[in-house]
Chains A and B, each alone.
Chain A
Amino acid sequence: MSMRRRTRQTLPGARAGRRGGLLLFVLFFASFVLLVLSRLETGSFRTLRGQAADMLAPVLETASLPGGYLRQVRERVSDYFLLADELERLRGENEELRQWRWRAEQLDRRLAQMRSLLHAVEEQALKYATGRVIADTRGPFVRSILVNAGAAQGVKTGYAVVNGDGLAGRTILVGEQASRVILLNDLNSRTPVLVGPSAVRAVLVGDNSAEPLLEFVPDGAGLFVGDEVITSGDEGLLPRGLRVGVVSAVNGSRVRVRTHATLSQLDYVSVLFFDSPMVVAAGRAGPAGGKAAVSATGRDAERERLAGALEEDRARAGPAAGAR
């Protein structure tokens, strides 16, 4: 009798334990299944993630406001204490920049003359949309940000993202109101670049550290610390000549680049509307080139006509000033 009673008492506990164990097994199994699916990264998976980012964007945008405000206050306080020194520095810089502006205008005129003499093909004028960074990533393998500019603002996948200092990354997922940007130091980031005065071709490869690596450097290429790194525009994915960074360390075949943009402290960034020349060409080729490409090009042309010369000037004077 007493045995039976004891059995009755222990049974619910044992059942709950078994149920708990089964639930844990199911959840661990679900984690692994998700990891495998994530690794395979199918199109629908990407779409779902884009939609999730889009849905969460307003929450993140609101939540990031106090942080942004605090950062501004901190910057203002530090600016206040460094005001005199900063003013002196800015005066000097202003003088220098005036000379540079005059020289740039002169060179611009000469360049226009040369281009007309050579009948060179006109380069795309860079337009852009500026957005605020509303989320950052955490983890051992992803370096990306979420920006509150999406398809509604004209952003598409693969567009270059810059801040006032230089290239930061490119868009990989575009929602209606927000876009995910892969940063230059992300493990999956590959950016064709030109290095130094001799314009050595290489590929900037992220390894999740603060300073990405240069790979596929031709044998015998002389690279030195301080060499400027700019985008090469190879494969037509990014515009040519965007400032990227400078060579910071050369250890045998390992060359590291310190990016001009501080990738861990991005605040406002601009997405450059640069469609691959191949896509544009496919669009011009007619319906065989693909309907999406045609309509996109058509829209762009329409927008260009409407925007006019003022828009082009703005685009040249804005963050694209980083573009040479």
Chain B
Amino acid sequence: MGRAEVVLSLFAAGVCAAVALAPVPIPIRGAAALALALYLPGGGIVAVALVGRPSAETRVLSVALSIATCAPLGFVLNALHRLDAAGWAIGLCGVACLGYLSALARSPAPRAIPAAGPTHTHGSRAWRAGLLTLSVAITAGAALAAARGALSQHEYRFTDFWMVPEDVSKPSFATVGVRNEEGAETSYTIDIVARGALVDRYRSFVLPVRSERTFTVPLPNVTFAEAAPVELSGEPTDLTAEAAAEKRRQRASDTALRVEARLYKDGDRRIAYRTVWVALPPAVPPNPAPKLPSEAATDATTPQAPTLREAADQPLPSEVGMPTVRIPPRPVGSRLIPDEPGPEGTDDGPSKPRTNASAE
């Protein structure tokens, strides 16, 4: 490698490191980063170790060594907690500069000897350049066509529907959301149902393609006071942690309340298009030890978020103009979501996931 090329490479390493850290457009940073990671450090090592004229072999070894340099450098940066842009820029630039500076300190390589053999080319330079340009253009067109084909491939037309409690530990509200991926503008209606009764309804709204809408829905709280009595008589009170957890899970399972959000599409209210729900286990008592039924009764006096009955008695944000629906208390042993229709004929019965969503 000649002296001029070494100096140029040294300069390039510094510039690439600076550009990679500068607030410039990503294509420019990308070019600098690729040169810095894929060629310059290895070029520095080759310049100092393999003195001689640059050749295809030294170029290839430069690329391989550059990439190989990243692995040990990564371990060093990892140990220094500097696996970031600055760490990489300094590290890679440092390796490259070290190599090129060492090469500068050595005697210069012999000049390249021009080839003496035939250099006949087919056609004029302009003709070759034209063919090359045409080739690149066709290749780019092929790649763009493939990318366009991949981006436009949407086998499924669907609607995302979700219901997520806002606070996992003590859910008082849930976010209900709809995203339209049906490929066309679509109208939706959402019902909020608890124990088979309509609690809230978000009347028909229209979503453009690839847009979404979310709602905040208040959730009732379930306490152990509402729970069916759990028979613990005859069982030891010094339960193991696992047994206590299982007992608590069993009790929660018996008393959990399911609040459903049902999505109807395009005014078709015969069957819910999508159904999601949150399962609200009873509020966990402060004392993690297993409780007897008599103890559990005292938990009901603890101030909590509104119970389901209380929540249903109050108007909900979207209920303006809607009749207030009272939630009947759940009889012991009844199903959480009864099969019979809800009040005022608004409930469509048990929700069944519809799995034949429209597909192209």
Q: Do A and B come from one complex?
A: no
Residues of A within 8 A of B (CB): none
Residues of B within 8 A of A (CB): none
